[in-house]
Amino acid sequence: MKYRLGQKVKYKRISKKIEINMQYWTADDFEPNEEKILERRESIEFYKERTGYVMGRRNLVFRTIFSVNYSHYDNDEDISYAAVNFVEIAKQEYGFAYLVACDMGHTNYVLEEDLKRG
């Protein structure tokens, strides 16, 4: 179901961005061919149902998947061998959420399945 701009809606649950707080991994924290998932959004449920108006639709990052990149550098002139392993973003998973104005100064991101016609 698609909602139009300015349409009145009701909702009880929102999607909120998770603060990462400098959560990083080193290459030593991974097993070979392992991927780690970092959740980027959380769902918050209110006690009372809220009423708001649709302001738009946004494409948001919901989770990020990290893996280790194994890079090997050989030096032809020297016998020394260096291996550089670093953590990289393998992919990010996106999803759509509606931007809903709940009052004159606040907006919320609401998933489509959490919206009802107001």
pLDDT at position 79: 47
Q: What is the pLDDT of residues 3-34, one digit of tens each?
A: 999 999 999 999 999 887 666 777 788 888 88
Q: What is the pLDDT of residues 49-86, one digit of tens each?
A: 999 999 999 999 999 998 887 765 555 555 444 566 77
Classify the phi-psi angles of 98: left when phi > 0, otherwise alpha if psi is within -120 to 50, otherwise beta: beta
What is this structure's pTM? 0.77
Query: What's the burial of 73, exposed, middle or buried (CB within 10 Å: 0-12/13-18/19+)?
Result: exposed
What are the DSSP calls for 9-28, one per residue? EEEEEEEEEPP--S----GG
pLDDT at position 117: 87
Phi and psi torsions of 112, nearest 5°: -60, -35
Q: Where are the domains of the chain?
A: 8-117
Separation CA 76–CA 84 (nearest Å)? 17
